[in-house]
Structure 1
């Protein structure tokens, strides 16, 4: 991989991480605890709010996992091992990396894991 390709991949990964951070910041309010005061919110509305909060928390957990994948890809890029499968040490298909630059395993290892 040449320096230009490496810089492009790094920029794409950093942009992905920034987008996740922005989405997390924007959705912070939806993860807040649901008020227990039933005089201001009816019981069913409170249940709906709790369900929405639960979904927001699950989405945030997925964002955290995705951010960790991106950070690991950036670490592999810095170490010079980006594009090499972490399981079998074989090259990851370029098209696979184009679709998901944070991917850590080749297609064969992904199939074996499934």
Structure 2
């Protein structure tokens, strides 16, 4: 009987794709203002870092023998992602002055879109 091995998807490749888009976007933002640029960077990082945290926990366990533990890790990763996102936004709004909130939220949404598209493409392969 042939055993089929499930390989871990290259989810951290998605983070690299996001960073390869975010960094040039922030560099271009320097043309408008420094505040706009670092607001873009922070907004993107507020999506990328929690997503990487989730990916670490969600995809480190593979195999049917570890289903309960894997599910537990997915829950842990999702709660951590949610917490990191909330705390990240709170810290940015409390500590970063001046802040360009439109740039912050635009980058967050753009990186969320990139995450969805890149994840679908990377996992589909």
> Larger relative contact order (C-alpha < 8 A, sep ≥ 6)?
2
TM-score between the two structures when normalised by the length of structure 1:
0.43
TM-score between the two structures when normalised by the length of structure 2:
0.40
Instruction: Choose between structure 1 and 2: higher helix proportion.
Output: 2
